[in-house]
Amino acid sequence: MATADDAGLYFSHPACLEHDPRAYMPEHPDTPERLQAIERALAARDWLGWERREAPPASETQLELIHSTKHVQKIK
């Protein structure tokens, strides 16, 4: 089990379960089922000492740190 020195934060949001990229990319690995499996595995291990938090909304600027502006605008 994690100690206070190495425990982390786990951010997620219920809306993540509504996001299923397979409609556009059938082979995309980030699915609601994958997220549920990860959370079940962590819960079975007392979240490894991690603190769970609801993820706040990201700004477009924050999204563009990971995705291209074109991609963000297309999704928007």
Q: What is the pLDDT along the chain (76 residues), one digit of tens a residue?
A: 545 567 799 999 999 999 899 988 999 999 999 999 999 999 999 999 999 999 999 999 999 999 999 999 988 8
Per-residue confidence (pLDDT) for residue 5, from 0 to 100: 63
The pLDDT, as a whole number, for residue 7 is 79
Query: What is the pLDDT, as a whole number, of residue 4?
Result: 54
Domain map of the chain by residue range? 9-75
pLDDT for res 54: 96
- Counting Cα atoms < 13 Å in the Cβ hemisphere of 30 gives 6
Look at the chain and count its residues: 76
At residue 10, what are phi and psi to the nearest 5 degrees?
Answer: -120, 115
Closest by CA position to 71, among listed 24, 30, 35, 27: 24
